[in-house]
Structure 1
Amino acid sequence: MMEEVSTMMAYDAQVMEQMSEQEILACLEAETGPTFTVPTKKSKLKESRLQIMDDKEEEDPLDKYLKENHRLQEASLRLEQENDNLAHKLITSKVALRNALDKAEDKVDELTKGLLQTRNRLQATEEEKRGMEEEITMLKEMFRRELDKTEQEVKRSTVIIADYKQICSQLTNRLERQQAAHREELELLKEAARACPRCRCTVETDEPSTAGQVFPVAAATKGHGMTEQGQGEDSEDPRPAEQRTEDQEKESMRAQIRELEQELAQTKLQMVEAKCKIQELEHQKGVLSSDLHEAKNSWISKAFTSLRTTSGGRHSLSIARDGAPAVACSVQSGSLSGWRAKKLPWPHRDNRENV
């Protein structure tokens, strides 16, 4: 201890030698003035050393050693108490860390289980998604085939209608030409009958009726020297045959025109049915596209909600485990059943067969 005191005093002397006069005055002023210092370990150490020095100078060495021994015993007791406290704190901190580690391991196990469940659920949903996509592609192909068929039928019906229109126009032109030719022949026969003095009266009297026009004209072409009875006998043979053939041709043409009109009406009806079928297909396509969009949105929302619930803990995992997959499956199964139920009936084929 004396060596320490001597070293401290030598150190203080060196410091005093190195200090200037102004610093020494400042230190003296600080010591003489009122000081409000916070006690620290260094100050306590200095005080204890000064006190030891004073005690050494004043007291007996035996008492001094006894006091020093007592002080050292108290310090050792205090250090042992602090050591015990630190050991207790260390043990409690170790126990707390062990408990926290156990909880973290339990949580990791739960999270791994939840992760495996979510992966399995994700695989199931991906498989369902693949099935839905395959079904959608099949439906699209079916719609495309049906649309192609309807377009081909519409094109064929338009071609048939154009052909029927062309045939009808040709027949009408032919009928008009034949009517014009018959009118010209009738006018020539009338002029020839008017030129004959015997047949003029019959032509003028029987001009409204067609029968009275035909027989005298035939007689005029045969010759003016025959009698009226001979004219009747000669004209009754060729003219009624020609008239019958013309009437038959007219009737056949009228029958053909009626058949063409019926076929035209049927083609128009088929065209209207094809248009209705196309509209129905477009409507069903829009409905299916909207159902598909809703199903995709619902599936995405359910997937996000299930993924969010998995990060919330055991309770949220149990809720997602019990609720979300069932809802998603029900939604998807409902959509699939709805699509299976929406198989396209074609009533137009039955109507076409009936027609």
Structure 2
Amino acid sequence: MFAFSTTANKMSKDSAQESVITRDIHRTFPAHDYFKDTEGDGQESLYKICKAYSVYDEDIGYCQGQSFLAAVLLLHMPEEQAFCVFVKIMYDYGLRDLYRNNFEDLHCKFFQLEKLMQEQLPDLYSHFSDLNLEAHMYASQWFLTLFTAKFPLCMVFHIIDLLLCEGMNIIFHVALALLKTSKEDLLQADFEGALKFFRVQLPKRYRAEENARRLMEQACNIKVPTKKLKKYEKEYQTMRESQLQQEDPMDRYKRENRRLQEASMRLEQENDDLAHELVTSKIALRNDLDQAEDKADVLNKELLLTKQKLVETEEEKRKQEEETAQLKEVFRKQLEKAESEIKKTTAIIADYKQICSQLSTRLEKQQAASKDELEVVKGKVMACKHCSEIFSKEGTLKLPSLSMENKGIETDDEKDALKKQLREMELELAQTKLQLVEAKCKIQELEHQRGALMNEIQAAKNSWFSKTLNSIKTATGTQPPQQPQQPLPPKEGST
């Protein structure tokens, strides 16, 4: 805290590296919500830490790529604590030494890594040697930025935790784990393909947190003895002393200059790639946003149309319910009227049946009485000597034709009267039966209309559109779902 407060007093001083810092913070995690806004809280805090360190460490100052490490720390703690931890890593953990003496310690790390590869991954080491692919071409950012510049944050957080617990040697563990898991792909790649794999494909593999977790487990299981690292360090120093003694100073300066130029070109290429990736990401995000806005407009229009259709459908449903209620009322009245007519017709039929029965009984009695009287008269006439000639032996009358005609006329008149009365009764009975049949037909027709109407109502309620509207009402909460209306039970006495 004291270091940050002391440095904060010097923040008003101009720094020669301000332009580099400003350029770097715009490239640091541009897709992250905390750092994506220009002049936002994240970029402002990141700028303060980077500038504070450039003032605090006058020998090294700010170096390109340090903003990524500072940003990772800012995601977990306030800027004062982040600055103190950043200084701790640079000084006490030895990250600062990698930038000193023309990156001499960094090249020692590269030599140690290649020796570890030669021991643990000999086939990959031989392949890289055939391609003239040296460690500084792919591992410089691994050591200088502690894997923070290229790899996903879920993996970087694990690496920083292990670094704070175990020290800088954990970088060798992670580097060997990356090379071991990617060995098959690297053995099939050429020089350009291998560099592209390290730059693009390798970081993408660990976007899934499960893959990053497995990599960390594998890195922790790899053995990197400290004694071997010290041995390789002595070998490197001996090799460097021998090179310095044998090499002409001018050649050495040219070689160093060429190496620095290559490193600068490589860093510029990586910066260009990052800038291109940033622009591509922004364009993709802009396209996604435009598509989302277009989709939202379409959905809003569809929602308005659906609401309008819902209102129209509710109005139509209300009208249909009113018409249904009216039809039910008309049907109920017609049914009551038909039932009343049926009762009246039934009573009339019963009365006519009773009258017909009485008339039939009366006719039978009159016929029996007439027959008995006729037999009595016939008996008396047959007993009389003078009158017995009226009847023949078969019992038929032998009256003169005139007398027979007169009696026949009287008998025919009575029969005609009875037949006429009987025909009238039969006609009246037939008319009553016809009325009864018409009433039954009318009742059946009303029953059929009622059934068809109820089926239409039920079908309308069970239709797909009705269900869709009910689901929309339920989802929007405008109206609770209605229970299906049960059909009215038929009244008693209906057929």
Range into which the TM-score falls when normalised by the shorter chain: 0.5 to 0.7
1:42 to 122, 135, 138: 135
The 1:3/1:146 distance shift into structure 2, 3 A limit, reads closer
1:106-121 equivalences under 5 Å are 106-121=294-309
**Correspondence list, 1:18-97, <5 A:** 36-39=126-129, 41-42=134-135, 52-61=240-249, 64-65=252-253, 67-69=255-257, 71-97=259-285
Quick one: which of 464, 467, 481 aligns to 1:300? 464
Which of the residues 420, 430, 435 maps onto 1:265?
430
Whole-Å separation in 2 of the counterparts to 1:3 and 1:266: 126
> Deviations for 1:277-299, whole angstroms, at most 9, x for unmatched residues?
344445555665676677778x6
- Is residue 161–residue 264 contact of structure 1 (8 Å, CA) maintained in 2? yes
Q: CA 1:94–1:206 in 2, change beyond 3 Å: closer, same or farther?
A: closer
Q: In 1, are the aligned partners of 2:342 and 2:439 still within 8 Å (CA)?
A: yes
The percentage of counterpart residues that share the same residue type is: 49
Higher relative contact order (CA closer than 8 Å, sequence separation 6+): 1
The answer to whether residue 417 in structure 2 is matched with residue 274 in structure 1 is no
| Contact 1:206–1:212 (Cα < 8 Å) also in 2 | no
| 1:163 equivalent in structure 2 | 351
Distance 2:265 2:103 in 1: 27
- For structure 1, the 5+ residue unaligned runs are 16-25, 214-239, 308-355
Using the TM superposition, give the Cα deviation of residue 111 of structure 1 relative to its aligned residue in structure 2, in angstroms: 0.9
- Residue 56 of structure 1: CA displacement? 1.2
Q: Which position in structure 1 is the counterpart of 2:164?
A: none
Amino acid at match of 1:99: N
Give the number of aligned pairs: 257
Q: Secondary structure at the match of 1:272?
A: helix
Provide closer, same or farther for how the CA distance between residues 256 and 271 of structure 1 changes in structure 2, counting only shifts above 3 A: same
Contact 2:390 / 2:399 at 8 angstroms: preserved in 1? no
The amino acid of 2:427's aligned partner reads Q
Contact 1:153 1:274 in 2 (8 A): yes
Tell me which structure has the larger Cα radius of gyration.
1
CA contact (8 A) 1:143 1:281 kept: yes
Q: Name whichever of 163-172 and 83-92 sits farther off.
A: 83-92
Conserved in 1, the CA contact under 8 Å of 2:382 and 2:391?
yes
Deviation at 1:94, TM superposition (A): 1.4
Counterpart in 2 of 1:132? 320
Q: Shift of residue 272 of structure 1?
A: 2.6
1:193-215 C-alpha deviation (Å, 9 max, x unpaired): 555556556688994569979xx
Within the alignment, does 1:175 sit opposite 2:363 as a pair?
Answer: yes
**CA gap 1:135/1:54 in 2 versus in 1, 3 angstroms:** farther
Q: Which amino acid aligns with 2:422?
A: I
What letter is aligned with 1:188? V
Alignment partners' CA distance in 1, 2:331 and 2:399: 65
Residue number in structure 2 paired with 1:236: none
SS in 2 for 1:162: helix
Query: How far apart are residue 173 of structure 1 and its match?
Result: 1.1
Return the structure number with greater helix share. Answer: 1
Q: Which amino acid is the alignment partner of residue 37 of structure 1?
A: H
Q: Is the 8 A contact 2:389 2:398 kept in 1?
A: no
- Give the conservation status (yes or no) of the 8 Å contact 1:202–1:212: no
Q: State how far apart, in whole Å, the 2-side matches of 1:208 and 1:145 are.
A: 70
**TM-score, structure 2 as length reference:** 0.40
- State the Cα deviation string for residues 72-114 of structure 1 (Å, max 9, x = none): 3543344234324422331332133123212211211221111
* 1:102 equivalent in structure 2: 290
Quick check: 170-179 or 43-52, which moved more? 43-52
Higher mean displacement: 155-164 or 192-201: 192-201
- What CA deviation, in whole Å up to 9, does each residue of 1:292-328 have, x standing for no partner? 677778x637997xx9xxxxxxxxxxxxxxxxxxxxx
Contact persistence 1:203–1:212 (CA under 8 A): no
Cα contact 2:460–2:466 (8 A) shared by 1: no
The answer on whether the counterparts of 1:157 and 1:271 sit within 8 Å (CA) in structure 2 is yes
Gaps of 5+ in 2: 1-100, 140-231, 472-495
Paired with 1:89 and 1:182, the residues of 2 have a C-alpha distance of: 130
Amino acid at match of 2:358: Q
- Local SS of the residue matching 1:112: helix
* TM-score normalised by structure 1 residue count: 0.52
Distance 1:3 1:85 in 2: 24
CA contact (8 A) 1:194 1:200 kept: yes
Question: Does the 8 A contact of 2:356 with 2:425 survive in 1?
Answer: yes
Query: By how many angstroms is 1:120 displaced?
Result: 1.8
Give distance in 2, aligned partners of 1:99 and 1:265. 89
The separation in 2 between residues aligned to 1:109 and 1:123, in whole angstroms, is: 21
Q: Which moved more, 1:204-213 or 1:256-265?
A: 204-213
